C-alpha cells in the first residue's frame, strides 16, 4: 500500500468538481485563505457506473434535511452521485428544508441523466437558514460541465467552512491481483466530537466488494478514526460519512472476510485515520495537535471515557495552549470521567517525561531553576513548545489501551465562533 495523489478522483471511474454558486457571503470565509478556495461552495462527485454505497450519519437527534433524504436514498445500498453545498447547513428548516434537499437530488439526477434515488445530498454551514435554490440549481449545472478526473482538489475546497485547508488522501493497493485505489476527502474544524462530528467525509474506491462487507469495513474504520477525535466536544446536525465502491478495478468481488478483505480494510483505515487527523490539526484556532493515550485500563470503554474526559477538558486544552504542564488538570479530568480508578496507581507522562507517579508529583518542580529532582518545569516547557504533544495516562489496573486525538483551545477559537455568522 502506498499513498498517491488525486483524492476522491484517484480511483477509476470517479469524477468531481468544485465551483462557486454564490452561497457563501461575498465569497469570503471567516478565516484568511486564498480567494479561489474561499469562493467555492458547491461540489459534485460522480461515478461513471453505479456503485455500491453505505453511509453513517450523526447521532444528534436534530438531523439536517439532506441527511434524512440521503438515508432514504441509500437504503438500497447503491448510489452514483453526491451533491454537497457549503455555507448553509439546511438544518432546522422543516418541510421546506426537506423539499429543497429533494430538489437538489432531483436536479442533479436530471442533469446527469440518472435516477434521483441514486443521488445523495448533504450540506454544511449555518443552521436555521434556507438554501438559495436558484443559485444551487445553476451551480449543479455548472459543476456537471466541470466534472473531471482531476477535480478532486476543487471538490475538497468547495466543502470547507471554517477549515483552513482542503483535506484529501488516496492510497493504492493490490486486491485480488489488481491495482486498486481508495480515495477520500473530508471537511471539519469545529463541532468535532463522536459519534461523528461536524464533519463530512466522502470516500471512493474502485474495488469490487459486497455490500455487507463494505458496510462492515466502514463501520469498523470509523470506530478507529472519526469516532476517536474531538476538537470541542460539540456534535453537529449534519455529520455524514459515505463510501462508494464502483468495482472498476475489476478484481474478483470481495465477498468473504479473507485476505483481500483485510487488505481493503487496512487501506480504508489508512484513509479515514489520515483524514481524521487532518481535521484535528485544522481545529478552529488550534496551535497544537495532541495525542492522548490511556493505558492499562480494566475495560476498553473505561480507557475511552477517560481519554475523552481529558481531551474535552477546557482546562487541559487551555493549559496546553499556554504551554503549562499543569498535570493536576489532567488528574482532575481523569477523576471526573465517571470511571472507577485507583488514584494512587495513576502515572501521567508528557511524552517521555513523567509528571505524576502513583497519583502524586513525580518530583516535579514548578520552579524553573529548582535543582531538586530530575524533572523541571523547563523540560516540560520545551516539550510543550512543539506542535505535536503526547499525553500518556497509565492507570495500572488492567490491560486495555486506547488512543484519541484532539487539539488545544485558543483565543482564536472564541473569535471564530463568536463571529461565525457575521
Q: Which residues are identified as catalytic?
A: 198
Residues 6 or more apart in contact with residue 197 via CB below 8 angstroms:
188, 191, 226, 229, 230, 231, 234, 235, 236, 239, 279
Beta bridge partners of 88: 124, 126
Instruction: State the Cα–Cα distance between residues 298 and 229, nearest whole angstrom.
Output: 22
Q: Which of 260, 272, 132 is nearest to 204 (CA)?
A: 272
Q: Which of 201, 207, 209, 203 is nearest to 227 (CA)?
A: 201
Residue 132 carries which DSSP code?
-
CA angle 416, 198, 38 (to 5 degrees): 55
Query: Residue 66: which H helix or E strand, with range?
Result: helix 65-73
Q: Are 225 and 275 in contact (CB under 8 A)?
A: yes
CB-based burial, 283-292: b 16+ in 10 Å, e otherwise: bbbbebbbbb
Which residue is listed with cell 447547513? Answer: 89
Amino acid at each position: 500500500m502506498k499513498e498517491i495523489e488525486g483524492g476522491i478522483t484517484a480511483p477509476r471511474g470517479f469524477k468531481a468538481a468544485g465551483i462557486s454558486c454564490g452561497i457563501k457571503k461575498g465569497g469570503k470565509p471567516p478565516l484568511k485563505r486564498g480567494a479561489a478556495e474561499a469562493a467555492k461552495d458547491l461540489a459534485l462527485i460522480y461515478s461513471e457506473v453505479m456503485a455500491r454505497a453505505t453511509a453513517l450519519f450523526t447521532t444528534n437527534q436534530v438531523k439536517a434535511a439532506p441527511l434524512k433524504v440521503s438515508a432514504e436514498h441509500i437504503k438500497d445500498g447503491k448510489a452514483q452521485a453526491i451533491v454537497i453545498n457549503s455555507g448553509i447547513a439546511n438544518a432546522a428548516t422543516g418541510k421546506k428544508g426537506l423539499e429543497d434537499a429533494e430538489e437538489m437530488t432531483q436536479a442533479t439526477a436530471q442533469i446527469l441523466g440518472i435516477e434521483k434515488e441514486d443521488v445523495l445530498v448533504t450540506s454544511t454551514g449555518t443552521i436555521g437558514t434556507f438554501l438559495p435554490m436558484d443559485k444551487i440549481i445553476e451551480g449543479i449545472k455548472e459543476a456537471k460541465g466541470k466534472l473531471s478526473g482531476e477535480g478532486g482538489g476543487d471538490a475538497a475546497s468547495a466543502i470547507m467552512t471554517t477549515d483552513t485547508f482542503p483535506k484529501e488522501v488516496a492510497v493504492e493497493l493490490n486486491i485480488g491481483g489488481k491495482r486498486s485505489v481508495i480515495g477520500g476527502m473530508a471537511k471539519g474544524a469545529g463541532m468535532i466530537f463522536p459519534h461523528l462530528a461536524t464533519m463530512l467525509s466522502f470516500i471512493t474506491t474502485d474495488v469490487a466488494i459486497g455490500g455487507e462487507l463494505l458496510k462492515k469495513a466502514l463501520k469498523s474504520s470509523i470506530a478507529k478514526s472519526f469516532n476517536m477525535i474531538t476538537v470541542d466536544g460539540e456534535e453537529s446536525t449534519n455529520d455524514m460519512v459515505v463510501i462508494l465502491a464502483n468495482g472498476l478495478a475489476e478484481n474478483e468481488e470481495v465477498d468473504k472476510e479473507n485476505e483481500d478483505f483485510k487488505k481493503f480494510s487496512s487501506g480504508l483505515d489508512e484513509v479515514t485515520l489520515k483524514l481524521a487527523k487532518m481535521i484535528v490539526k485544522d481545529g478552529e484556532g488550534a496551535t497544537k495537535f495532541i495525542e492522548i493515550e490511556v493505558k492499562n485500563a480494566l475495560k476498553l470503554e473505561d480507557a475511552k471515557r477517560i481519554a475523552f474526559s481529558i481531551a474535552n477538558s477546557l482546562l487541559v486544552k487551555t493549559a496546553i495552549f499556554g504551554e503549562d504542564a499543569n498535570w493536576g488538570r489532567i488528574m482532575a479530568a481523569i477523576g471526573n470521567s465517571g470511571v472507577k480508578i485507583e488514584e494512587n496507581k495513576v502515572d501521567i507522562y508528557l511524552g517521555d517525561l513523567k509528571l505524576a507517579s502513583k497519583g502524586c508529583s513525580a518530583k516535579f518542580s514548578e520552579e524553573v531553576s529548582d535543582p531538586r529532582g530530575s524533572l523541571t518545569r523547563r523540560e516540560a516547557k520545551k516539550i510543550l513548545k512543539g506542535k505535536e504533544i503526547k499525553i500518556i495516562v497509565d492507570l495500572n489496573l488492567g490491560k486495555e489501551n486506547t488512543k484519541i486525538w484532539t487539539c488545544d483551545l485558543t483565543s482564536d477559537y472564541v473569535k471564530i465562533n463568536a463571529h461565525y455568522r457575521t
